[in-house]
């Protein structure tokens, strides 16, 4: 595969208080159908989350974030029988929970794994400064 392929991604968000609507970007999910690629990576800045001043169940948030990564990996549990596209759609479906995803966006890439790193840097890590 030498051409650029379409990929889709969503930011994984933590919103400890729905009433206040404040968010912390905590990771990304990338799906590239032509390559059968699905990956979620999380990097929660707990200090930033706690600085929002809302009560938050950190172990629960960590557990939910880990579930995104596991659902995309080899040990996907019950979701493992689903195609990568089905898993991506399930993971990005709207939820009214503390841990959720933002809207799905698309782009073109030569390397979906490199996109994960680029998106983490641009959307998750830089938000720490």
The helix (H) or strand (E) run that includes residue 14 is strand 5-14
What pLDDT, in 10s, does the model give residues 3-35? Answer: 899 999 999 999 998 888 899 999 999 999 999
**Would you state the pLDDT for residue 17?**
87
Domain carrying residue 48: 5-128
């929970």: which residue's tokens?
A: 97
Domain count, the chain: 1
Task: Summarize pLDDT for 98-108 with one digit per residue, the tens.
Answer: 999 999 999 99
Q: Rounded distance, CA 16 to CA 23, Å?
A: 8
What is residue 78's predicted lDDT score, i.e. its pLDDT? 76
Q: Which sign does the torsion angle of CA 51, 56, 57, 61 carry?
A: negative
């Amino acid at each position: 595969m030498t051409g650029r392929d379409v990929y889709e991604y969503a930011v994984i968000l933590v919103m400890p208080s729905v009433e206040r609507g404040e968010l912390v970007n905590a990771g990304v999910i990338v799906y590239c159908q032509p390559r059968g690629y699905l990956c979620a990576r999380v990097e929660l800045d707990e200090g930033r989350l706690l600085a929002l001043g809302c009560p938050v169940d950190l172990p629960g948030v960590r557990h939910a974030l880990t579930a995104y990564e596991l659902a995309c990996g080899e040990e996907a549990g019950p979701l493992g029988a689903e195609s990568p596209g089905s898993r991506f759609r399930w993971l990005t479906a709207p939820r009214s929970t503390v841990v959720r995803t933002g809207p799905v966006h698309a782009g073109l890439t030569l390397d979906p794994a490199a996109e994960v790193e680029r998106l983490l840097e641009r959307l998750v890590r830089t938000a720490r400064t």
